[in-house]
């Protein structure tokens, strides 16, 4: 099941409103999903988005993001990537080679 949250502009202001909780997030460039990510360890959705925005983590060319809080981020990330692959016959371009 795709994320149900609205898309937010990939700006410091919008990222500051992302949750400080574990979960998954999707990065978009325009209307294209370019990356599906998940929190690991002590990271939060907000801290992971900040890493992308500050150019510490690829990709950095997102224009929008959305997110979902979950207690099982790795499992949910795998579900989202599988759904994307079924719908598009490929992974998001910035997830290719990562799996």
Question: In this predicted structure, what is the pLDDT of residue 97?
Answer: 76
Alpha carbon separation from 73 to 13, 45, 85 (Å, rounded)? 24, 10, 18
Would you write out the chain's pLDDT as a tens digit for each of its 99 residues? Answer: 678 779 999 999 999 999 999 999 999 999 999 999 999 999 999 999 999 999 999 999 999 999 999 999 999 999 999 999 999 999 999 999 764
The structural domains of the chain, ordered by start, are 8-88 (3.40.1440.10)
> Would you give the DSSP letter of residue 5?
S
Question: In this predicted structure, what is the pLDDT of residue 53?
Answer: 97
| Global confidence as pTM | 0.93
64-69: strand order across its sheet = 8-9, 64-69, 23-29, 32-38
Question: In this predicted structure, what is the pLDDT of residue 1?
Answer: 61
What are the residue ranges of helices labelled H in 2-99? 12-16, 45-53, 73-88
């Amino acid at each position: 099941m795709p994320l149900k949250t609205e898309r937010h502009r990939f700006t410091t202001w919008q990222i500051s409103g992302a949750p400080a909780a574990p979960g998954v997030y999707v990065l978009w460039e325009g209307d294209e999903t370019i990356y599906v990510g998940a929190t690991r360890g002590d990271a939060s959705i907000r801290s992971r988005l900040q890493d992308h925005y500050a150019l510490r983590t690829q990709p950095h060319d997102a224009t929008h993001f959305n997110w979902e809080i979950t207690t099982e981020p790795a499992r949910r990330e795998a579900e989202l990537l599988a759904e994307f692959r079924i719908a598009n016959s490929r992974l998001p371009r910035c997830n290719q080679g990562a799996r």
